[in-house]
Structure 1
Amino acid sequence: MSQAKAVRWGVIGLGWFGEVHADNLAEMPDIELAALCTRRPDRLNEVADRLNVSKRYTDYQELLVDPDIDVVSITTHIYDHREIAIDALRSGKHVLLEKPMAPTLADCEQILEAVAQSDGLFMVGHICRFDPRVTLAKQAIEEGRIGNIISMHARRNLSKSIGETVLDDISALMGDGIHDADLMLWFSQANVSTVYAQEVHPGKNKFPDAGWSIARLDSGAVAVVESVWHLPESTPFTIDARMEIIGTEGALYINCGEAGLAIHDAQGVKLPDTMYWPRPLGNYFGVLKEELRYFANCVRKGEPPQRITPAESAAAVAWMEAATESARTGAVITF
């Protein structure tokens, strides 16, 4: 498409993060938030009225046949990802699918087939790959500054008050551990050989609140993913996210939990998000905007995204799916 033309974008799914997508897109130059879709008419009108979006759909199939839409964000429940993504690709739309790609590797493989047969571009929203702290770490690894990676450990922990809002939809390992699984595979450029995991389920929601997974990579490195959505409600962290990467010649330490801002008030101490989708002075800023901008530029240029490929997204799902199976059975899963 012409690089001078605004990319016309629709959002399918208006839960909390779908609304964040829509809000960011509405503020971005050279992007037109052209359509919104959710099955709930009241919610649809609430968000569309606020953002002044005229095209409103309660059936995503009607949005997909709208010739005025170039790109769709799919921000629905993970168990809807496969069907909607495949339909969107078959319709010829460019697709930004929120992570995880799908609940199972088998689902991912069906999406990969649709990607191969579609003229539309496709990317899964692994937002951490757009975090400058992460990309600088990747650059240091590629420059050989820590030698060959031998060990990685990550934690990505949330308060139980946040966990309780999503643990009926997805487990902590699949929901957040997948971020670090993806980054570890990206950093190491290796594949998983074996996986062992344990999950803990102290809460009352459908899925486990906490999980640890250890993987042996075919490079020989060991990789440990920790995801616990059961920190006390008084925790100052919006998210306690850190990673240690040790190599034969050095080490890297990424700290995405310290926000650079601590607010002390009558409610205690809080470390707000200052990087991913903060809204200083009423306008969004941050890593999500960078991810959206990157995909929009790929669409304008007609170039498949290289920052994260569909196969890499599927590999992260495969690891977390194996971790879930290992935690259920107690067995080491071999790839």
Structure 2
Amino acid sequence: MDNRPDVSCSPTPECRMGKKTVKMGVVGLGKFGEQHARVLSQLPHVELVGVCSRSQDRSKEIAERYDVPKSYTSHEVMLRDSDFDAVDIVTEVDRHAEIAQIAMENGKHVFSEILLSRSLEETDQLIQTAKRNSIHFMVGFLERFDVRRAQIKKRIEAGEMGELVSLYSRRNIWRGILDAPRFKSFPLILQPGIHTIDQLLWLAQDEVKEVYARSRSVVDTDRADTWWATLTFKNGLVGVIEQSFFVPDSRLSWCDVHLEVVGTEGTAKISEPGDSAWYWNTDATRSPDLFLAPELHGRVTGALEAELSYFADCVIENRPPELGTLEQAKKNLDAGLAIMASAERNEIIRLS
């Protein structure tokens, strides 16, 4: 039996202007979960009808702040509610897959932050459940909604850069991440490093053939906090990942990022923080967020708004969210697990 309300709509201006909307709920109300709730509450084609936290006080607080009619402390209860079309999962990483399965079995479309799982088999189960229940499932590959990266991708697809020769992605993140509870149970190359992996696979437009990686444990002896990996794609393209977690507390920005794409007819580069905006005062120098969720005239914009708006469009228009599929998530995970295996064994890992 199909329990999902009919929110289907052809992609017309009438539909997009809000005469059809998708009813959504958010599970997980930490700092990033609240950002999701705020963005959804401001989208004209979304009705944010429920929020869920294991803390009753937090759930009520966010519901009141963003004028949400329902608050929950149990995601099981929330996901059985027929008033929802879709759910946005922003909990601790190791709860994503479980909540997503329950949501899909209750006929809810799913947006989930990554990482979904560290198991290829569990990812396959999510794929099967989504197909069986005709669910639109989107994984939050946030950097695909960054204007700069999307422009690079567009030029690659148009052939403007010629044949790709190499990709390089460095991400040195604020070291406070090392102590964040939501990252404690996963290898850092998978979470949050899966974003770096996805960026290279998305731009490469090809499958990984083999991986060679090294890692180092500097702060924590029981887990690696520095990673280097070389990914060779089937077409011969080489991608290099440098992932570490040592941006100090007295930082200009929460991360030091560099992306370089080299082709036979062009080169593209992104650096964060860049020279676009700086603030000085007596305490520190800062570079503001202009990518993830910058605020403009009281409204959250940036990649997060674009990503969640895209998902809502897909549900309303009854089309698969091609910019964040479960199958793409599985390929990213496969590459990530190969990086881990290569670093552990000190050998090249070939992917099937």
Residue 163 of structure 2 aligns with an amino acid whose one-letter code is N
Q: 2-side partners of 1:231 and 1:328: how far apart?
A: 25
Q: Report the secondary structure of 2:268's partner residue.
A: strand
**Aligned pair 1:103/2:118, yes or no?**
yes
Alpha carbons of 1:244 and 1:75: their partners in 2 closer, same or farther (altered >3 Å)? same
Specify the alignment match of 2:80 in structure 1: 65
Q: 1-side partners of 2:217 and 2:34: how far apart?
A: 30
Q: 2-side partners of 1:326 and 1:58: how far apart?
A: 41
Residues 277-331 of structure 1 show CA distances to partners (whole Å, capped at 9, x for unaligned) of 0224432111100111111111111111122322112111111122122222323
Q: Report the secondary structure of 1:145's partner residue.
A: coil
Q: Report the secondary structure of 2:169's partner residue.
A: strand
Q: Is the Cα contact below 8 Å between 1:25 and 1:31 reproduced in 2?
A: yes
**Aligned pair 1:271/2:287, yes or no?**
yes
Q: 2-side partners of 1:201 and 1:46: how far apart?
A: 40
Output aligned runs, 1:175-186, within 5 Å: 175-186=191-202
Alpha carbons of 1:40 and 1:227: their partners in 2 closer, same or farther (altered >3 Å)? same
Q: Is the Cα contact below 8 Å between 1:190 and 1:219 reproduced in 2?
A: yes
Residue 50 of structure 2 aligns with an amino acid whose one-letter code is A
Match of 2:150 among 135, 145, 168: 135
Specify the alignment match of 1:116 in structure 2: 131
**Aligned pair 1:324/2:340, yes or no?**
yes
**Aligned pair 1:283/2:299, yes or no?**
yes
Q: Report the secondary structure of 1:294's partner residue.
A: helix
Residues 88-140 of structure 1 show CA distances to partners (whole Å, capped at 9, x for unaligned) of 11211110011123222222111111121122211101011111101100111
Q: Is the Cα contact below 8 Å between 2:247 and 2:254 reproduced in 1?
A: no
Match of 1:244 among 239, 249, 260: 260
Specify the alignment match of 2:53 in structure 1: 38
Q: Is the Cα contact below 8 Å between 1:41 and 1:58 reproduced in 2?
A: yes
* Range with bigger deviation, 108-117 or 122-131: 108-117
Alpha carbons of 1:292 and 1:99: their partners in 2 closer, same or farther (altered >3 Å)? same
Q: Is the Cα contact below 8 Å between 1:101 and 1:314 reproduced in 2?
A: no
Stretches of structure 1 that go unaligned for 5 or more consecutive residues are none
Q: 2-side partners of 1:33 and 1:84: how far apart?
A: 18
Output aligned runs, 1:44-55, within 5 Å: 44-55=59-70
What is the CA-CA distance between 1:153 and the residue it aligns to?
A: 0.7
Q: Is the Cα contact below 8 Å between 2:110 and 2:137 reproduced in 1?
A: yes
TM-score, with length taken from structure 1: 0.94
Residue 177 of structure 1 aligns with an amino acid whose one-letter code is G
Alpha carbons of 1:203 and 1:49: their partners in 2 closer, same or farther (altered >3 Å)? farther
* Range with bigger deviation, 68-77 or 202-211: 202-211
What is the CA-CA distance between 1:30 and the residue it aligns to?
A: 2.3
RMSD: 1.9
* Range with bigger deviation, 251-260 or 295-304: 251-260
Specify the alignment match of 1:197 in structure 2: 213
Q: Is the Cα contact below 8 Å between 1:262 and 1:269 reproduced in 2?
A: yes
Residues 152-204 of structure 1 show CA distances to partners (whole Å, capped at 9, x for unaligned) of 11011212134432542433321233222212222221111111222222224
What is the CA-CA distance between 1:55 and the residue it aligns to?
A: 1.3
Q: Report the secondary structure of 2:252's partner residue.
A: coil
**Aligned pair 1:17/2:32, yes or no?**
yes
Specify the alignment match of 2:204 in structure 1: 188
Q: 1-side partners of 2:282 and 2:173: how far apart?
A: 22
**Aligned pair 1:125/2:150, yes or no?**
no
Match of 1:88 among 72, 89, 103: 103
Stretches of structure 2 that go unaligned for 5 or more consecutive residues are 1-6, 10-14
What is the CA-CA distance between 1:259 and the residue it aligns to?
A: 6.5
What is the CA-CA distance between 1:61 and the residue it aligns to?
A: 1.4
What is the CA-CA distance between 1:207 and the residue it aligns to?
A: 4.0
Q: Give identity over the alignment, percent.
A: 33
**Aligned pair 1:311/2:334, yes or no?**
no
Q: 2-side partners of 1:282 and 1:210: how far apart?
A: 38
Across the two proteins, how many residue pairs are aligned to each other?
335
**Aligned pair 1:301/2:330, yes or no?**
no
